[in-house]
Structure 1
């Protein structure tokens, strides 16, 4: 394990960087933080101090506690969205590669229709139907990312479907679902891991954008995008709420993006040979 960490310093750093942020979000209630909902009007727009390390917002709420609880909101929304899109898009992509024919053509043309819409506009359209909320944002992001997983997994799945062990499994009478989920899926694990990390990074930015526009988490729920939106009105008077919320979004997105790049470099045999 130590040798692996030494040989994969970038991956080790990315895992630690992401894990620290995730642990902060998970254990926020036991960290002894101030109540992120408590409004102390006499303390509004205070700069960083001993009591409030990152200062307070326009309602006197502690920015540090709201950022850490905002991590919980962002991670809950984005992880839910990416898992849903992986289940839907990944399943459709593997089924399309396995059955081919008319099923493949219909599925991929539907994915092309979804690809034709800009990501943010399609997410806004879905939220217009579902209504602004955390779960509405999660479903909207899941729908946006479904064609990405479908197209990504379909390509390598087509190659695997032509392999000898899949042909042999068909010859001995293995069922379609057994072949798909026990033979195709395990061989796509590395692709799934890398793309999931990268899409989590992008989903964090989309969720923050939706919350910034008022279409994600609703007040008073702590949300990084919502904090950024509220803080922009006080940039000249008290810039720290917007600045710290922006850095929180940057660190969270950067962590998953770095993790995805490190996983790709580690799991891709061609890149390993080059190094």
Structure 2
């Protein structure tokens, strides 16, 4: 059987959380392991999630934690058999969706992970997953992409953004989630199987608020669907500047050769350990 090539992108996130959360996570993780309570299924905004606690391991002398998550996706509505019978997908228990794999490093306050599903949901799924280990239900856990601060400093110094250019593959977009303003209307069948280049000019004409533009630029940077991004704007002196934001976030990319489309937990953990070694060597 011919092997399939699959591109994997591991992303790194720092966490905004109360100090007590890290101890809460470790104790909850250990208690569930001791009680052999390794799997939990729950709903968030009408979407099912499954979290599976893996085996913890030592990294740089500190305990680190492997998590497997499946996020429900209702794209698959039917199955067709060779005899022509078309029916719904039978599920006696569990859920059907995309796998997400994470390693949480409490000593560094970092979580890294990847998915073979829509990459735009990797951060939000990490937030939802970690929240399940938070005993303080009044506080929220927020994952923030680890970035190269110098590049963002250049972007923040622009007083006005006048143009945004980017290359995007719309087939990789997650149409279940809200799209950045630049991609509104692009999740239609006419665009879905093409790699496109867009230029949105005159963003300072009042149609879009500046903070929304900046927020959507960051969303594009987090997306594997976006292969190139440049921003044109005016600095404090009113001079036009072009900032190329091709590789602002810390990521680790690799290409796998698989016999199946599915990346199993053993292989996922191996890839994340490889990504951790890369991250340690660059920070």
TM-score range, shorter chain: under 0.3
TM-score computed with the length of structure 2 as normaliser? 0.26
More helix by share: 1
- Structure whose alpha-carbon radius of gyration is higher: 1
More strand by share: 2
